[in-house]
Amino acid sequence: MVKDLEGSAKCPPMPRNNATYIGDTVMCSVFLGTKQDARLRQLAHELGVTKSELIRAAVEDKLRDWLTKNKDVILNELNLVRSK
C-alpha cells in the first residue's frame, strides 16, 4: 500500500500490458531535456503506453545490461569519471 501526501493509504497504479510490479514502488524525479521528453511522449503515444512505463522498462533493461559489465566499462559508456 502507498500513502499519498496526506498520509492516506492508496493502491499503486495497476500494471498495464501484462506488466507486473514486484514489491513496493518509489517515486523518482528525473529532469529530461525538452527534446528527450517530446520524443518519449511521442513514442509512448505511438505504442499506447505511458511515459512512466517506457522509463521503467528502459531502466530495467539497462540495469540488466550493466549488471553483466565491469564498473569501469559502465562509467566509460556514460562518459563519467570515477572519483578516487
Global pTM? 0.60
| Rounded Cα gap, residues 66 and 22, in angstroms | 20
Q: How many folded domains does the chain comprise?
A: 1
Q: For residue 19, tell me if it sits in a domain.
A: yes
Q: For residue 84, tell me if it sits in a domain.
A: no
Q: Domain of 51?
A: 2-77
Q: For residue 72, tell me if it sits in a domain.
A: yes
User: Which tens digits make up the pLDDT trace of 10-51?
Assistant: 555 555 555 555 567 788 888 999 999 999 999 999 999 999
Virtual torsion, Cα 33, 39, 45, 47, nearest 10 deg: -120
| Rounded Cα gap, residues 70 and 54, in angstroms | 26
Q: For residue 82, tell me if it sits in a domain.
A: no
Q: For residue 33, tell me if it sits in a domain.
A: yes
| Rounded Cα gap, residues 26 and 12, in angstroms | 10
